[in-house]
């Protein structure tokens, strides 16, 4: 089996079992891998070649992207080895590759007490900042989800979340009545149109807002 044939088989599996968004995330990597090794036998690709390939395609990218590409290539080989019952070791499973593209130790996140959350909300200086915090604390939104919301996504007490973290195309979040009223008042106050983002700030600005409040 050539690598090109293996990629085609893996593609069939992905389209039948994975979300479209996940399938698309693999495409740039597999297209480059196909261009580099497509005519080679699947079991002839060595770990050194994979290391050089990953360094070439991810050398200028962030650590998270490098880890993702390594994990995707490892999953590709694992699937084919298992599916075709091949008597070979995954060439991605070596100390060199694991160390170069390893996932860093997770730092435990600090969970804030309810009283602290209430104090953070109380200490906000603007309605915008208060709403960002309330949508996270009361409605369970992540920062990124809150920042993507457009005026047309807010209907009465419902918020339509586009491309949420879960990977689904959309989800619905419900707001307490008081927060829904504050949100709609804010939209009117800012003269926002249906296509406008309600909170047109970047992720780092929102994170800094929260960190500054925690430090007060």
Q: Per residue in 97-143, pLDDT tens?
A: 888 887 655 555 555 566 766 777 777 889 998 998 889 888 888 88
* Domain 3-100 in this protein, CATH class: mainly alpha
pLDDT of amino acid 109: 53
For tokens 């979300």, the residue is 19
3-state secondary structure of 212: helix
Q: Per residue in 138-159, pLDDT tens?
A: 888 888 889 999 999 999 999 9
Measured distance CA(195)–CA(203) in Å, rounded: 19
The pLDDT of 158-168, averaged and rounded, is 79
- The pTM of the full predicted model, rounded to 2 decimals, is 0.50
- Dihedral angle sign, alpha carbons of residues 69, 70, 73, 78: negative
Fold (topology level) of 114-215: hpI Integrase; Chain A (1.10.443)
For tokens 């297209």, the residue is 31
Q: Per residue in 16-73, pLDDT tens?
A: 888 888 889 999 999 999 999 999 999 999 999 999 999 999 888 888 888 899 999 9
In the chain, domain spans: 3-100, 114-215
pLDDT at 215 over 70: no
DSSP string, 142-197: -HHHHHH-BGGGEETTEEEEES-TTSSSEEEEE--HHHHHHHHHHHHHTT--TTSB
Please give the order of strands across the beta sheet that includes 154-155.
Answer: 154-155, 158-162, 170-174
């Amino acid at each position: 089996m050539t690598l090109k044939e293996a990629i085609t088989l893996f593609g069939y599996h992905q389209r039948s079992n994975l979300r479209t968004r996940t399938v698309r995330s693999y495409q740039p990597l597999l297209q480059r891998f196909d261009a580099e090794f497509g005519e080679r036998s699947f079991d002839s690709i060595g770990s050194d070649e994979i290391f050089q390939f990953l360094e070439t395609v991810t050398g200028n990218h962030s650590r998270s992207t490098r880890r993702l590409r390594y994990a995707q290539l490892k999953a590709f080989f694992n699937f084919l080895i298992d599916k075709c019952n091949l008597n070979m070791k995954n060439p991605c499973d070596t100390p060199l590759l694991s160390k170069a593209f390893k996932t860093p130790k997770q730092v435990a996140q600090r969970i804030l007490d309810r009283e602290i959350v209430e104090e953070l909300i109380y200490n906000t200086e603007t309605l915008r900042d208060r709403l960002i915090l309330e949508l996270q604390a009361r409605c369970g939104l992540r920062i990124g989800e809150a920042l993507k919301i457009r005026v047309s996504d807010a209907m009465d007490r419902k918020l339509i979340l586009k491309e949420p973290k879960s990977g689904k195309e959309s989800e619905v979040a419900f707001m307490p009545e008081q927060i829904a009223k504050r949100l709609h008042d804010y939209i009117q106050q800012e003269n926002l149109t249906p296509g406008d983002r309600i909170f047109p700030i970047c992720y780092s600005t929102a994170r800094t807002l929260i960190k500054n409040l925690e430090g007060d």
